Amino acid sequence: MRERLRNAAIRVITRGYRCRILKPLIWKYVTQSKELRFHVSDAPRGNSEQFRKEIASLFEYFGFSPDQLANKTVVDIGAGSHLITSFFRDAKIVAIDPLANRYLKEIPSCGLRKAHKIYSCPAETRIEGLESAADFAISINVLDHAYEFEAIIDNIYFYLKPGATAFLSFDCHDYITTLHPIDLSVERCKKTFESAGFSITKVSRGLGPALPCAIPLGSAYGDGEAFSFWLTKPKA
């Protein structure tokens, strides 16, 4: 009985996600509430040495090193509660996350306290003060959790300095779940990046051996298959 009710609720939510008006409401009140609960319960893991090692090996797997962005402005889209981009030593991290204020309030050890600036809003909202401010933009395991992919990509383009790079890594899947409101195919992503004005400089698949909690091991953050895109904003 419980299982049947649960499946019915999931069906209602995923159908609601197909409706333009309901989508941001379901995202805010259902999906993001689940996300917040997860982060609050996950706080001890985020504080552990083991987690820091896993994150460092994930960044190194992608080819990043801790000192490469010292004194640079890095916009982290969907920064989360652990602020994993603090991997980049001495970078000025500008964290954007709609749950930022809730994380700060409910998680005493919240990593966001290390950020240079915090915007507690969805990445779909354009922050005018960040126009051409970023030397680098990064987003890890977020874009399939959001609700308006195209608007976010346009905003990332707006935040980058000419010639700067964005690194976007997330799961692609052709279905919607309660935690993943957007069905993203690789084709849709590439089309959106190019329409925003980006050149796609590299695409990689999977997560390698870096993240032991990936499901199934090495292939996705949670659902579908992980893809990572390196994008460049043209110089002129």
Ligand X SMILES: C[S@@+](CC[C@H](N)C(=O)[O-])C[C@H]1O[C@@H](n2cnc3c(N)ncnc32)[C@H](O)[C@@H]1O
Q: How far is the CB of 87 from ligand X (least distance, A)?
A: 11
With a CB cutoff of 8 Å and minimum separation 6, the contacts of 118 are 79, 94, 95, 97, 100, 104, 112
Q: Is residue 82 involved in binding ligand X (CB under 6 A)?
A: yes
Toward ligand X, which CB reaches closer, 147 or 198?
A: 147
Q: Is residue 54 involved in binding ligand X (CB under 6 A)?
A: no
Q: Is residue 98 involved in binding ligand X (CB under 6 A)?
A: yes
Say how many C-beta atoms besides its own lie within 10 A of residue 222's C-beta: 17
Residues 102-131, one symbol each (x = binds ligand X by CB under 6 A, - = not), give --------------------xxx-------
By C-alpha distance, which of 227, 225, 170, 160 is closest to 199? 160
Say how many C-beta atoms besides its own lie within 10 A of residue 9's C-beta: 12
Toward ligand X, which CB reaches closer, 87 or 193?
A: 87
Q: Is residue 78 involved in binding ligand X (CB under 6 A)?
A: yes
Is the Cα dihedral 55, 112, 24, 131 positive or negative? negative
Range 216-219, long-range pairs (CB < 8 A, 24+ positions):
none
Q: Which of 73, 86, 141, 228 binds ligand X (CB under 6 A)?
A: 141
Contacts of ligand X in 178-197 (CB under 6 A): none
Gap between the Cα atoms of 130 and 158, Å rounded: 8
By C-alpha distance, which of 201, 200, 202 is closest to 191? 200
Window of 8-16, 71-79, 87-95, 189-197 that interacts with ligand X by CB under 6 A = 71-79
Toward ligand X, which CB reaches closer, 101 or 232?
A: 101
Catalog residues that contact ligand X under the rule CB under 6 A: 32, 35, 77-80, 82, 84, 96-99, 122-124, 140-142, 145-147
